[in-house]
C-alpha cells in the first residue's frame, strides 16, 4: 500500500511538471493555433540558466528563478518576432509545426555550445532529506513543484477570466479572424503568449531540475511529454492540459513500477497514438474549437520544374559528378560522408513523395528507416539470411507497417497527422530501447556484416559508395518518372485541394496510402544500406531527432521536386565534414537553416536552381480582372 502511494505521489509530481509544460503549449495553441514544439527548449534553457545563476553565480533561489524565467521570456519574444510572427498566414499548419521543430533544434544546439553535453544536477531547493508524511516519503522539491503548478494555474485563470488581455487572448482562440476584425492584434497576442508560455516553461524547468538530469537535448523530452499531455487532455483546453499531464505522470509511474521501466514509454506512446486517432478531442473531450479560415493558412505553392533541355543537361552533369566523385575524393575521407549522404537521399526521396507531392507531413520518417535497418541486421545476424534476402524481407515488413500506419492515420489531417506520425516515431524509438534483448537497447547492435552478394562482398567506402548511389539512381529515376506521370499529378492535386481532387475521380485515401508506402519503402532500403555500411545500429541513429533532421534536409533542399533530397542531404551532411569548425555548431546551424528556409526560401535550394515558369507574379490568390484577348 505504501509503495502504491509513493508511486502515485511520484506520478503526480512528474505529472505536475508535464502539466506546466502542457499549459505553455496550450496557451500558444489557443492564441495562434500553433503547437509549439520548441516549448521543451524553453524548459531546458530555464533550468540551465537557473543552474548558472544559482549554483555558479551564487544567487538566492527566488531571484534566480525570476531572472531565469524573465530571461527566457525575452528570448522567446525575440524568437516569436523573428521566426514565428512572419510565418503566420504564410505557412501551412504543418509548416509552422516544422518551423517550431527547427526552433527546438536551434536552441538545443545553443545549449550544447553554452553548457556542453554533460548533464547537470541542480541541488534541491530545500535540502535533500525527504519529508515523511504518514510513512510516505515525499521529496521536498515536490512541494515546490506542486506550489508552482498551483500558483501558475491560479494566476493564469485570473488573467484569462478577469483582464482585458485574457479576454483578447480567448477571443483569438475562438475566432482569430473575428478577433482581428475587432481590432485585436493577433500577431502581437501570439508574441505575448510565447513569452508567457516560455516563462512558465522556464519556471517548470528550474523547479524540476533537482529531480531529473538535465542536458542540452532534454528539451525534446519535455516537448514530447507536454505534447502527450495536451493530446490526452484535448488540444487547446487548459483544464485538459493539467489533467492530461497528471494522467501521463501517474500512468508512467504505474507502468514503470508494476510492468517494466523499459516499456513504460512504449505504453505512453501507444495510449497517445490511440487517443490521437480514436479520440482526437482527448480522453476528456475537452478540445477547444477554433474557427480558422483555411485560406489564411494557404501559401501559394511555388511551381518548380526541372524539365526540358536544361534539366537533361543538369542531370547529365550530376550523373558524371556522382560517378567520378569517389575517384577524386578518395584521399580526403569525404567518401564515407558521401555514403551516408546517399543513404539520406534515398530516405528523402520517399519523404519527398509523401510530403512534397502528397502534402502529408511526417515527423516520424526515421522510424521506417529503423524498422528496415534493425530487421535487416537481425535477419542477417540471428537468422543467417543472405544480405539481399534480408533486405527484401525487411522491405516487405516495412511496407506492411507503412500501409498499416497509413490506414490508421488516414483520417487525420494537418496538425493531427503530423502529431500522429511523431507519436508513431516515438513509439518505435521506445520499442528499440525497450526490446533490449533483440536490439541491444540503448547501447545498440554491433558487428553487422557488410553487404554481399554470393562471393561478392561490398567492403570499404568506395564500394559502399557505388552500392548506395546505384540504388539511389535507380529509385530516383523510377520516382521521377512516377512523379511526372498521372500518379504524381494526382498526389499534387491531393496536396493542393482534396475536394477538387475527389471531384476529379482521384481516390484520395488510396493515393495517400501509396505515398505512405513508397516513403516507407525508400526509408527501409535506406535503413538496410545504413546498417551494412555502418556495421552498427543504435536507437539514436534512427530515432525522432533523425526524423526531424530528415525533414530539415528536405525543407532546406526543397520539397516537391525530387531534386531537393539530393541537395539537402549532400549539403547538410558534407557541410560539417568539410568545414570542420562548423561541426560543434551543427545543431545550431541546422535549426537556423530550417527556420530561415521555411520563411524566406519556399522552394529550398532546389528553388534557386529550378527552371521557374516565366511569370513570377506574386499574390497568386489575388484575382486580377481578365485581360482583354
Enumerate binding residues for other proteins (CB under 8 A).
298, 300-303, 305, 478-479, 481-482, 485-487, 489-490, 492-493, 495-497, 499-508, 514, 560, 613-615, 617, 620-621, 623-629
CA angle 369, 375, 380 (to 5 degrees): 130
150 vs 509, beta carbon nearer other proteins: 509
With residue 445 as reference, give the H or E element that holds it.
Answer: strand 445-446
Q: Is the dihedral of CA 402, 403, 409, 413 positive or negative?
A: positive
CB of 92 to other proteins, least distance (A): 11
300 vs 321, beta carbon nearer other proteins: 300
Q: How far is CA 236 from CA 76, 166, 242, 281, 329, in A?
A: 20, 15, 11, 9, 53
Burial class (CB in 10 A: 0-12, 13-18, 19+), 235: buried
Could you give the CA distance from residue 446 to residue 453 in angstroms, rounded to a whole number? Answer: 21
CB of 234 to other proteins, least distance (A): 25
CB of 523 to other proteins, least distance (A): 18
SS3 131: strand
Which cell is 199 given? 516563462
Say which residues have a Cβ less than 8 Å from residue 479's Cβ, sequence separation at least 6.
349, 350, 353, 518, 522, 562
Could you give the CA distance from residue 124 to residue 143 in angstroms, rounded to a whole number? Answer: 11
Contact 422, 363 (CB under 8 A): yes
327 vs 623, beta carbon nearer other proteins: 623
518 vs 542, beta carbon nearer other proteins: 518
SS3 298: coil
Contact 420, 273 (CB under 8 A): yes
Contact 14, 249 (CB under 8 A): yes
Q: What 8-state DSSP symbol labels residue 163?
A: S
447 vs 628, beta carbon nearer other proteins: 628
- Written as one string, the DSSP assignment of 185-225 is -HHHHHHHHHHHHHHHHHHHHHHHGGGS-B-TTTHHHHHHH
Q: How far is CA 137 from CA 11, 128, 254, 256, 273, in A?
A: 13, 12, 17, 18, 34
77 vs 482, beta carbon nearer other proteins: 482
302 vs 557, beta carbon nearer other proteins: 302
CB of 472 to other proteins, least distance (A): 15
CB of 510 to other proteins, least distance (A): 9
Contact 111, 45 (CB under 8 A): yes
CB of 415 to other proteins, least distance (A): 20
Which cell is 372 given? 528496415
Could you give the CA distance from residue 497 to residue 483 in angstroms, rounded to a whole number? Answer: 18
Query: Could you tell me what percentage of the chain is helix, strand and coil, using 3-state DSSP and rounding each to the nearest 5?
Result: 75, 5, 25
331 vs 629, beta carbon nearer other proteins: 629
64 vs 501, beta carbon nearer other proteins: 501
208 vs 353, beta carbon nearer other proteins: 353
500 vs 578, beta carbon nearer other proteins: 500
CB of 333 to other proteins, least distance (A): 36
259 vs 300, beta carbon nearer other proteins: 300
Could you give the CA distance from residue 403 to residue 397 in angstroms, rounded to a whole number? Answer: 10
Amino acid at each position: 500500500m505504501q509503495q502504491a502511494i509513493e508511486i502515485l505521489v511520484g506520478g503526480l509530481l512528474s505529472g505536475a511538471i508535464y502539466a506546466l509544460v502542457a499549459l505553455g503549449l496550450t496557451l500558444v495553441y489557443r492564441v495562434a493555433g500553433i503547437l509549439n514544439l520548441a516549448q521543451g527548449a524553453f524548459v531546458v534553457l530555464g533550468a540551465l540558466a537557473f543552474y548558472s545563476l544559482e549554483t555558479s553565480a551564487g544567487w538566492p533561489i527566488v531571484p534566480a528563478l525570476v531572472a531565469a524565467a524573465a530571461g527566457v521570456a525575452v528570448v522567446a519574444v525575440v524568437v516569436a518576432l523573428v521566426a514565428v510572427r512572419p510565418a503566420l498566414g504564410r505557412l501551412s499548419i504543418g509548416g509552422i509545426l516544422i518551423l517550431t521543430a527547427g526552433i527546438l533544434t536551434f536552441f538545443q544546439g545553443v545549449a550544447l555550445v553554452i553548457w556542453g553535453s554533460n548533464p547537470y544536477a541542480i541541488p534541491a531547493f530545500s535540502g535533500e532529506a525527504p519529508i515523511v508524511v504518514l510513512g510516505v516519503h515525499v521529496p521536498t522539491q515536490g512541494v515546490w513543484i506542486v506550489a508552482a503548478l498551483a500558483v501558475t494555474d491560479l494566476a493564469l485563470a485570473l488573467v484569462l477570466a478577469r483582464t482585458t488581455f485574457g479576454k483578447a487572448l480567448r477571443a483569438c482562440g475562438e475566432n482569430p479572424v473575428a478577433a482581428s476584425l475587432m481590432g485585436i492584434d493577433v500577431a502581437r497576442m501570439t508574441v505575448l503568449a510565447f513569452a508567457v508560455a516560455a516563462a512558465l516553461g522556464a519556471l517548470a524547468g528550474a523547479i524540476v531540475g533537482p529531480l531529473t538530469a538535465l542536458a542540452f537535448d532534454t528539451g525534446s523530452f519535455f516537448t514530447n511529454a507536454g505534447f502527450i499531455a495536451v493530446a490526452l487532455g484535448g488540444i487547446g483546453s487548459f483544464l485538459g492540459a493539467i489533467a492530461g499531464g497528471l494522467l501521463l505522470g501517474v500512468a508512467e509511474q504505474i507502468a514503470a513500477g508494476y510492468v517494466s521501466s523499459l516499456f513504460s514509454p512504449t505504453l505512453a506512446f501507444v495510449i497517445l497514438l490511440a487517443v490521437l486517432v480514436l479520440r482526437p478531442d482527448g480522453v476528456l473531450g475537452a478540445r477547444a474549437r477554433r474557427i480558422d479560415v483555411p485560406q489564411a493558412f494557404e501559401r501559394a505553392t511555388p511551381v518548380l520544374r526541372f524539365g526540358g533541355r536544361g534539366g537533361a543537361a543538369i542531370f547529365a552533369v550530376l550523373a558524371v559528378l556522382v560517378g567520378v566523385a569517389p575517384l577524386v575524393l578518395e584521399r580526403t575521407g569525404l567518401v564515407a560522408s558521401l555514403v551516408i549522404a546517399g543513404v539520406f537521399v534515398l530516405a528523402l526521396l520517399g519523404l519527398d513523395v509523401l510530403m512534397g507531392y502528397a502534402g502529408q507531413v511526417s515527423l516520424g520518417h526515421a522510424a521506417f528507416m529503423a524498422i528496415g535497418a534493425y530487421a535487416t541486421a537481425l535477419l542477417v545476424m540471428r537468422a543467417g539470411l543472405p544480405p539481399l534476402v534480408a533486405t527484401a524481407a525487411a522491405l516487405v515488413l516495412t511496407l506492411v507497417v507503412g500501409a498499416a500506419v497509413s490506414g490508421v492515420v488516414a483520417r487525420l489531417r494537418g496538425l493531427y497527422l503530423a502529431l500522429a506520425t511523431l507519436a508513431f516515431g516515438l513509439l518505435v524509438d521506445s520499442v528499440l530501447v525497450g526490446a533490449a534483448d533483440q536490439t541491444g537497447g540503448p547501447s545498440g547492435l554491433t558487428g553487422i556484416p557488410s553487404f554481399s552478394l554470393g562471393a561478392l562482398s561490398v567492403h570499404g567506402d568506395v564500394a559502399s559508395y557505388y552500392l548506395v548511389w546505384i540504388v539511389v539512381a535507380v529509385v530516383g529515376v523510377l520516382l521521377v518518372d512516377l512523379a511526372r506521370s498521372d500518379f504524381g499529378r494526382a498526389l499534387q492535386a491531393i496536396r493542393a485541394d482534396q475536394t477538387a481532387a475527389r471531384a476529379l475521380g482521384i481516390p484520395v485515401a488510396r493515393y495517400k496510402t501509396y505515398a505512405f508506402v513508397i516513403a516507407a519503402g525508400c526509408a527501409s532500403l535506406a535503413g538496410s544500406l545504413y546498417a551494412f555500411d555502418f556495421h552498427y545500429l543504435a536507437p539514436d541513429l534512427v530515432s525522432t531527432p533523425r526524423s526531424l533532421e530528415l525533414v530539415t534536409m528536405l525543407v532546406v533542399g526543397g520539397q516537391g521536386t525530387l531534386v531537393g533530397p539530393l541537395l539537402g542531404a549532400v549539403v547538410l551532411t558534407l557541410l560539417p565534414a568539410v568545414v570542420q569548425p562548423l561541426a560543434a555548431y551543427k545543431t545550431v546551424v541546422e535549426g537556423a537553416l530550417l527556420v530561415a528556409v521555411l520563411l524566406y526560401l519556399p522552394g529550398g535550394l532546389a528553388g534557386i536552381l529550378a527552371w521557374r515558369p516565366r511569370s513570377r507574379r506574386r499574390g497568386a490568390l489575388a484575382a486580377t480582372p481578365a485581360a482583354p484577348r
